[in-house]
Structure 1
Amino acid sequence: MIVVVVVLIFNVYINKDDVYTNNGESQTDRIASVLQNATETDKFGIFSASIEQGDGGTFPTIRIGMDETKSEQELREYLGKSLDKSDLRQYNIVVFKKDIQELEKEHTMLEINGIVYDYIKEKNYKGVQIYYPSIEPEPVIKITISENNELSSEDLKTELENLLASKDFKLLVKDISYKIQVIKS
């Protein structure tokens, strides 16, 4: 019985050292801090980063999206120097690169989609569904209205166009051309 308790305490102590530093900083906090520092320098052109814990079937992963014109090798060297060695052993690092203008377009479309969603929710429109915006071949916000809904697709489209043309949102959509598609289904 005493041997089991000693082994259990030793095992917990070893695992604790892998996850927490002496000051109580968690592994996720350490990784997030390094990623935040890398993002703030803008040297690497990082536009997104996530820390995903494994779920038994997958390995814990750090996903980083960066500007395709920046050096992935320099980013990996920075992470190798800045992250704890135990963190590097426990996580896969996946880097994907994209054109920064395309990323800005995607980001703007997601913001527009959020504005449209909030507006429809605020108006308490029932039977209206908003889809994740498509970017290719052209940016489109797609919305469906149920057939039995009294709201017409033309009226809703006009409302949304007027909303997004208002002075509050002009700056958001100034450099992107997009289409709002509202259909009855």
Structure 2
Amino acid sequence: MIERGIALLILTGLFFIFTFFTFFFRHLVYQFLCILVLMVLHGVLYLYLNAEFLAAIQVIVYAGAILVMFLFTLFLFPEEELKDLKGDFKRIKYTSFLPIAIFICLLFLVLVKGIPESYSPLKIYFDLKEMSVLLFNEYWMAIFLLAFILSFPMVALYVFFKKEEESGDS
């Protein structure tokens, strides 16, 4: 039981570190990479709670597809816009301190209340093979449409910036 508590504290510490990195990095790509690490840590948290399927979905869908799509879309911007941001970051750091402090206090109260026990399901309704056969044989059109919907914003941004470059050159 102590090992699970220590593992949860280490995981929580990593969440805090990468959340702070996300707020305090000035380069946009580094912020996206910190969010990617947070998504993977979220998957590790699901593994900690014995939800292996949710962990796989979290890492594959959110960290592997959606966030990488955002990174790809980010690279469609001109390089000048990806440089380090300049501005009044002291004010932003001080105003973001209060919500972070409230979040830390609430998380500490939740951790003090109790560490969750391991969960074992009473009955497994689907195994992974049945679910994958069902997903890829019965719902293949839904997966295809989802892939199209997720790729549409990238293409739209690319066309938008190409038109903007052509109108700027004239």
- More strand per residue: 1
Which has the larger share of helix?
Answer: 2
TM-score of the pair, normalised by structure 2? 0.24
Larger-Rg structure: 1
The TM-score, its normalising length taken from structure 1, stands at: 0.23
